[in-house]
Amino acid sequence: MKNARLKDLLNEAYDRYARPEFIASDPIHIPRGFSTRADAEVIGFLTATIAWGQRVTIINNAKKLVQLMDEAPNDFVLHATGQDLGRLDRFVHRTFNGIDARQFVLGIRHLYVHHGGLEEAFLENGKLGDMGSAIELFKSRFFEPEHQTRTRKHVADPSKGSNAKRINMYLRWMVRPNDRGVDLGLWKRIKPADLMVPLDVHTGRVARELGLLKRKQDDWKSVVELTEQLRKLDPKDPVKYDIALFALGVNGGLIR
C-alpha cells in the first residue's frame, strides 16, 4: 500500500478511535482518574506494569492497588511505613505479587529521592538517548535498591530483545499530548517524536497486514522497524498510530 493511502487509512482510524470513549475499557483510564501529575505517573507506571491479560482484570487489579495505596499513590510511595507496605503483600496479578508490588513502591521512591522522578530516570544528564538505552538506564536505576531477583522480570530490557510493550505504553500515556482525551501529556522533557510503538499481538498483526512490519518476531527489532515506518507518516508524533493499529486489531480488521 502506498504511503499516501496508508497515511489516510491510519489517520481515519486515529480520528475514529482516539476518543474518550475508547479508553472506557482501557487501563489508561486509571491514571486519567487522578488530577495531579505525581499521582497519575505513579499509578500509571504500576497499571502499565500489570497490563497483560484480560483488560477487565487489569483494570480491576489496578483499582485494588489504588485502594491499597489510600487513593493517594504518590503520597503512599513517598511516605509508606513498613506497616503500610505490608498491605501490598496480599496483592496478586498473574505473576506480579505482593513482593513485587512492595519492591515497585520502594523502587519508585528511590527514583524520586535519588534521580529526580520517573521521567528524569530515563534521562542521562538531562537528555534522552535512544529509547532502548533510556529504558535500560531506567531499569538499572529502578533496581539500585536491594531487591529480589524475581521482580526484575517486570521491567523490560530491550538489550535482551524484549519489545518492552508495557513500558513503551506507559511512556505513550505520559508523553503524548492530551488533545483527544486519551493520552495524558504530563511529561515535557521526552518528546512524542522520541517514543517507540508499544508492540503487541494486535498492533503487530495489523502492521504486517499493511506492510509496515516485515519481521515476524514481536521483539525490539520489530519495535524499531515499525516505529521507523510510522515516523515516515508522522515524524513528530509517530506513536499516535499505535491507537489506530491497536483499535483496528481488536475491532476486527482494516478500514477498506
Q: How far is CA 186 from CA 232, 235, 239, in A?
A: 25, 20, 16
Average pLDDT (118-134) is: 96
Return the pLDDT at 254.
Answer: 54
Across the range 35-45, mean pLDDT stands at 98
Per DSSP, helices labelled H in the chain are 3-17, 29-32, 37-49, 55-68, 73-79, 82-86, 98-115, 131-142, 165-175, 201-209, 220-233, 240-250
Q: Look up the pTM and report it.
A: 0.96
Tens of pLDDT, residues 68-109: 999 999 999 999 999 999 999 999 999 999 999 999 999 999
13-26: per-residue pLDDT in tens? Answer: 999 999 998 888 99
**Dihedral, CA of residue 59, residue 243, residue 122 and residue 166, to nearest 10:** 40
Expressed in angstroms, the distance from the first to the final Cα of the chain is 12
- For the segment 137-188, what is each residue's pLDDT rounded down to a tens digit? 999 999 999 999 999 999 999 999 999 999 999 999 999 999 999 999 999 9
The full set of domain ranges for the chain reads 3-250
| DSSP codes joined into one string, 115-150 | HSSTTGGG-BTTB---HHHHHHHHHHHHT-S---GG
pLDDT score at 255: 45
Cell output for 114: 535519588
